[in-house]
């Protein structure tokens, strides 16, 4: 499942970077002015994430188990620089994303009983992405449409809470992903533009955590609780961003 997602991103990236350069040589009303810099604060919504529960398990069935986590929100800042031509821009962005889903459940069993307990997953992610942007031919005097692609590194954490029992993080490992995006910039004035952007990425990172106890008490009965958790997190849903660009 996760390998297929990575392949799709690679195919999209190859498609974008191989668009003939001639399409971008046509006249475009560039968003950038002066020195060709843009500073863009933005807010974003991420549609969903995927949690691979037992990433290091020796059992193939366990490794395939995953939870779909609802979307979350974030905010960030991008800095972009127009280089070489008016149609080509490079940039770096950093975000802070928080995702919380308290509608999950986990099944526990002992010799005679099986119960489901409410689970809350909380993810915090800091993506740092390096991206190139290519402007398409002019649509309107104040409107710029662009495509982009690049690479990102993703730092994150994860806390899983079952009833009142919360996991504790032992270690975290960042991951990498290709980034594919499209967007538009509407120029209000020479210095200010409104930005709307759609972004696709896998945004993987891993977290090792543990519970302080090996059993959990539910309705007066005790159930075994796996103490150590080693999970891969994929913030792989569609990202929708709105921002204001200051161009100078």
Pairwise CA distance, residues 184 & 111, whole Å? 59
- The range of the structural domain enclosing residue 199 comes to 2-247
First to last CA, the chain: 44
pLDDT the model gives residue 29:
43
Residues of the chain with pLDDT under 50: 3, 7, 10-11, 13-30, 32
Output the pLDDT for position 9. 52
Name, in order, each residue with C-beta under 8 angstroms of 15's C-beta and a sequence gap of 6 or more. Answer: none
pLDDT at 168: 95
DSSP sequence for 179-213: EEEEEEEEESSSSEEEEEEEEEE--EEEEEEE-S-
Which pLDDT does position 19 carry in this prediction?
44
pTM above 0.85, yes or no: no
Q: What is residue 10's three-state secondary structure?
A: helix
Q: What is the predicted pLDDT for the residue at 18?
A: 45
Which H/E stretch holds residue 220? Answer: none
The per-residue pLDDT for 49 is 93
Q: Which residues contact 174 (CB under 8 A, 6 or more apart)?
A: 153, 154, 155, 156, 205
Q: Which pLDDT does position 46 carry in this prediction?
A: 95
Domain of 104: which CATH number?
A: 2.40.160.20
Q: How far is CA 195 from the centre of its chain?
A: 18
Please report the pLDDT score of residue 137 as a whole number. 82
The per-residue pLDDT for 57 is 73
Q: How many domains does the chain have?
A: 1
The tokens for 25 are: 């040589």
Cα 152 to Cα 94: distance, rounded to the nearest angstrom: 10
Paired strand residues for 67: 51
């Amino acid at each position: 499942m996760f390998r297929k997602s990575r392949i799709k991103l690679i195919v999209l990236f190859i498609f974008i970077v191989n668009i003939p350069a001639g399409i971008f040589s046509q006249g475009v009303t560039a968003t950038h002015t002066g020195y060709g810099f843009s500073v863009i604060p933005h807010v974003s919504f991420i549609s969903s994430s995927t949690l691979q529960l037992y990433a290091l398990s020796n059992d193939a069935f366990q490794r395939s188990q995953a939870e779909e986590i609802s979307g979350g929100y974030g905010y960030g800042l991008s800095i972009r620089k127009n280089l070489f031509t008016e149609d080509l821009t490079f940039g770096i962005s950093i975000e802070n994303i928080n995702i919380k889903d308290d509608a999950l459940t986990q099944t526990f069993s002992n010799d005679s009983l099986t119960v489901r307990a409410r689970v809350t997953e909380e993810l915090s992610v800091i993506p740092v992405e390096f991206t190139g942007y290519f402007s398409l031919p002019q649509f309107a005097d104040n409107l710029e449409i662009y495509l982009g692609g690049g690479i990102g590194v993703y730092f994150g954490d994860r806390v899983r809470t079952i009833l009142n029992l919360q996991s504790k993080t032992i270690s975290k490992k960042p991951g990498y992903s290709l980034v594919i995006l499209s967007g538009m910039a509407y120029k209000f004035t020479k210095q200010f533009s409104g930005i709307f952007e759609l972004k696709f990425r896998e945004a993987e990172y891993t977290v090792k955590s543990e519970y302080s106890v090996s059993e959990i008490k539910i309705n007066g009965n005790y159930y075994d609780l796996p103490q150590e958790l080693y999970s891969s997190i994929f913030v792989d849903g569609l990202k929708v961003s709105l921002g204001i660009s200051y161009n100078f």
